[in-house]
A and B are shown apart, each in its own frame.
Chain A
Amino acid sequence: DVKVTQSSRYLVKRTGEKVFLECVQDMDHENMFWYRQDPGLGLRLIYFSYDVKMKEKGDIPEGYSVSREKKERFSLILESASTNQTSMYLCASNRGQPDEKLFFGSGTQLSVL
């Protein structure tokens, strides 16, 4: 089975802190994604990467950056955390076309105080 592992299940940070969310997948997938999930809004794409060192903005990239130095690892960075970034963050990966289904991690619930 594909495993997507997010380093933290819960995180509490203060406004202005730099926050790193880490994600690792073990199936040699080409593509990796970061979503945030908020009640009533579903999952919204922040950034994705289709290759090492490659990244593209999703629908809500403002306030975030990403890093993909190795194929299996995709990091989400909050340069200066704000309270409106309190959310559930979900990492996902897939092999790419034609196999497009995403495999998700268990999520990181981030609270910014």
Chain B
Amino acid sequence: GESVGLHLPTLSVQEGDNSIINCAYSNSASDYFIWYKQESGKGPQFIIDIRSNMDKRQGQRVTVLLNKTVKHLSLQIAATQPGDSAVYFCAENIRSSGSARQLTFGSGTQLTVLP
């Protein structure tokens, strides 16, 4: 079946470096994508989202890139800090019922920031 996947389950980066977390999706009809951060013992927190009519969106220290041609999504974190250590999930909308979008999540990437 179609699903959202990740290229790497773990990623380690040096503090101060930029991080890039990748995500592949398979549903070409998806038009909304979202990134979440989940710290240990907490629920996922929204980071940034993007609609399919955009290729790039920037937030504070984060950028999401969408390549619809190859169905690839990436999250870039600039100047990675220790507080960025967490599991990062991408999600896409698969189908909707009324106003309730059903997001499908990938399995997550564990980002570890090394001192």
A75 to B103, CA, bound (A): 20
Q: Mark B93-110, 1 if CB is under 8 A from A, else 0.
A: 100111111111111100
Give 9 CB contacts A-B under 8 Å. A30-B99, A31-B100, A33-B100, A40-B9, A42-B107, A50-B99, A58-B102, A96-B101, A97-B101
Contact B99 A31 (CB under 8 A): yes
Contact B101 A43 (CB under 8 A): no
B75 located at the interface, meaning its Cβ lies under 8 Å from any Cβ of chain A in the complex: no
Number of residues on chain B facing chain A (CB within 8 A): 28
Contacts of A97 in B (CB 8 A): 96, 99, 101
Number of residues on chain A facing chain B (CB within 8 A): 31
A106 to B39, CA, bound (A): 10
In the complex with contacts A31-B100, A58-B102, A100-B101, A42-B45 CB distance below 8 A = no
A104 located at the interface, meaning its Cβ lies under 8 Å from any Cβ of chain B in the complex: yes
B43 located at the interface, meaning its Cβ lies under 8 Å from any Cβ of chain A in the complex: yes
Contacts of A49 in B (CB 8 A): 100
Contacts of A50 in B (CB 8 A): 97-100
**How far, in Å, is A11 (CB) from chain B's closest CB?**
15
**At the interface, is chain A mostly helix, strand, loop or mixed?**
strand
Contacts of A45 in B (CB 8 A): 102-104
For the A-B complex, the count of residue pairs with Cβ-Cβ distances under 8 Å equals 72
Q: Mark A58-87, 1 if CB is under 8 A from B, else 0.
A: 110000000000000000000000000000
A34 located at the interface, meaning its Cβ lies under 8 Å from any Cβ of chain B in the complex: no
Contacts of B99 in A (CB 8 A): 30-31, 50, 96-97
B73 located at the interface, meaning its Cβ lies under 8 Å from any Cβ of chain A in the complex: no
Shortest Cβ distance from A2 into B: residue: B46
Contact A104 B105 (CB under 8 A): no
A104 to B105, CA, bound (A): 14
A96 to B99, CA, bound (A): 5
Contact A105 B43 (CB under 8 A): yes
Interface residues of B in 43-59 (CB under 8 A from A): 43-46, 49
